[in-house]
A and B are shown apart, each in its own frame.
Chain A
Amino acid sequence: MKLNERSLAFYATCDSPADNTGFLYKRGERHTAYHRRWFVLKGNMLFYFEERESREPVGVIVLEGCNVELCDSAENFAFAIRFGGAKCRTYVLVAESQAAMESWVKSLSRASFDYMRLVVRELEKQLEEMRWGLAGGCGGCQGPSGSWKLKSSVLEQAPERLPALPAVLPKENGCAVWNNTPGVHRPPDTSGSNEHDGEENPRPPPLPPRRRASGSEVGSTRAAGAESLSSFCQLHEQYGQEVARLRQDWLER
């Protein structure tokens, strides 16, 4: 099977940050002698070089689907990268100290794309849940409804387009008031500072009345709201309109 080796070699040697590097002894496949190699972990690829200064890796171990285990081999500080499947190989590696071994076992066991994806999904979920919390009692900082800008400094630095957040998110202002009590000190973060040009209110405007669970058309959607994204979109629309009306009021005062 062909592999884009030149690109792999580039990935291994370019200056993108490595997730771990160091010397390890690697046991050969056919012969049981150990060879000391310079290892570089980037993402889910474990590259190994003959020498630290070598310009190209001797080889790479693709880490998807592996298990990393401590080894009871005669050597100290040994651990193994084991793959499932009948004919799949086990790589036995030996570190030069306890600390190095632990560091490698930790970073290798979290190196898979799948693991990264799991963590990302979990954080995405947490973020979404927080945005839900916003719908319950929005403060006054936003732009005209439908064109809220996400003023995160991280966004401004990101060289490429961002991950696709759920459809509702881009409408929200990333600096909305998360705490509902007026006057609470906001974290001193420039990206979080609410600056809506032209609005001069020195103190946060009064919050809209909290909706009661039994209230009007929102009531029924609210109960199911936590479950259904389409209900959330409706809720979001409703709040958005109310907030736009309120904003109109404040601007006129």
Chain B
Amino acid sequence: MRYNERELLCLARQPAEKAAEILMRLPRKGSVLKKRLVKLVVNFLFYFRTDEAEPIGALLLEHCRITKEEENVFSISFVEEPERKYCFECASEEQCQEWIEALKRASYEFMRRTLIFYRNEIQKLTGKDPLEQFGISEEARFQLGPPQQ
């Protein structure tokens, strides 16, 4: 699949929501934990070798599942391939929980649900649609669609 790599590399250099050196293991057989700089920017998780400026890879965090594994460890897997897990071993349980929380909120789809929730709440309280002032009430992305799994 083609993608605009330059722009993605540019994104990887933006200030991160969260960044840390964490041990990471890819879902390949025989893969071992390696120390990586892991950086969360919008809905992408970039991972770098600790001494390099360009990321080795990026994970788009849509339709993914963040799971607490054993102590200090969490994994990211994707809905269409739940057994393929990217594993991350943190320095502490606290760091592990922080990353889990941050990653769960990091998808565009999560933001969308949040927005719809707030929109609904405000509409219930005031009778008015708060998106009207932005001129975006009709946008497809802000509609309350059918509940998704």
Q: Are B78 and A57 in contact (CB under 8 A)?
A: no
Provide the residues of chain A in CB contact with B4, threshold 8 Å. 60-62, 83, 89
Provide the residues of chain B in CB contact with A124, threshold 8 Å. 118
Q: Are B63 and A64 in contact (CB under 8 A)?
A: no
Asked, given contacts A1-B8, A7-B63, A10-B63, whether A59 binds B3 with beta carbons under 8 Å apart, the answer is yes
* Bound Cα distance A66, B8 (Å): 11
| A123 contact from B79, B113, B115, B139, Cβ within 8 A | B115
Q: Are A159 and B122 in contact (CB under 8 A)?
A: no
Q: Are A159 and B148 in contact (CB under 8 A)?
A: yes
Q: Are B121 and A113 in contact (CB under 8 A)?
A: no
Q: Are A154 and B148 in contact (CB under 8 A)?
A: no
| A187 contact from B111, B114, B124, Cβ within 8 A | B124
Asked, given contacts A8-B60, A43-B62, whether A120 binds B1 with beta carbons under 8 Å apart, the answer is no
* Bound Cα distance A64, B112 (Å): 16
A14 at the interface (CB under 8 A from B): yes
Report the minimum CB–CB distance from B127 to chain A (whole Å): 7
| Segment of B29-37, B51-59, B67-75, B91-99 in the binding face | B51-59
Provide the residues of chain A in CB contact with B126, threshold 8 Å. 130
Which residues of chain A from 92 to 131 have any CB-CB distance to chain B below 8 Å in the complex?
Answer: 106-107, 110, 112-114, 116-117, 119-120, 123-124, 126-127, 130
Q: Are A117 and B111 in contact (CB under 8 A)?
A: yes
| A1 contact from B57, B113, B121, Cβ within 8 A | B57
A20 at the interface (CB under 8 A from B): yes
Q: Are A163 and B109 in contact (CB under 8 A)?
A: no
Q: Across the two chains, which residue of chain B brings its CB closest to A2?
A: B57
Report the minimum CB–CB distance from B67 to chain A (whole Å): 13
Q: Are B64 and A83 in contact (CB under 8 A)?
A: no
Q: Are B60 and A3 in contact (CB under 8 A)?
A: yes
Q: Which 5 A-B pairs have the closest CB atoms?
A: A59-B2, A43-B108, A2-B57, A123-B118, A113-B42
Which A residues have a C-beta under 8 Å from some C-beta of B? 1-11, 14, 16-20, 42-45, 56-62, 64-66, 83, 85, 87-89, 106-107, 110, 112-114, 116-117, 119-120, 123-124, 126-127, 130, 152, 154-155, 157-164, 174, 178, 187, 189, 191-192
10 more CB-based (< 8 A) A-B contacts, given A89-B4, A110-B141, A130-B122: A44-B108, A60-B3, A62-B11, A88-B6, A114-B42, A120-B111, A123-B119, A152-B120, A152-B124, A159-B148
30 A-B pairs within 8 Å (CB atoms) are namely A1-B54, A1-B57, A3-B59, A4-B59, A6-B81, A7-B60, A10-B78, A10-B80, A43-B109, A44-B43, A45-B60, A45-B62, A58-B1, A60-B2, A64-B11, A83-B4, A87-B6, A89-B7, A112-B42, A113-B43, A119-B115, A119-B131, A119-B136, A120-B114, A120-B118, A123-B118, A154-B121, A158-B117, A163-B105, A163-B114
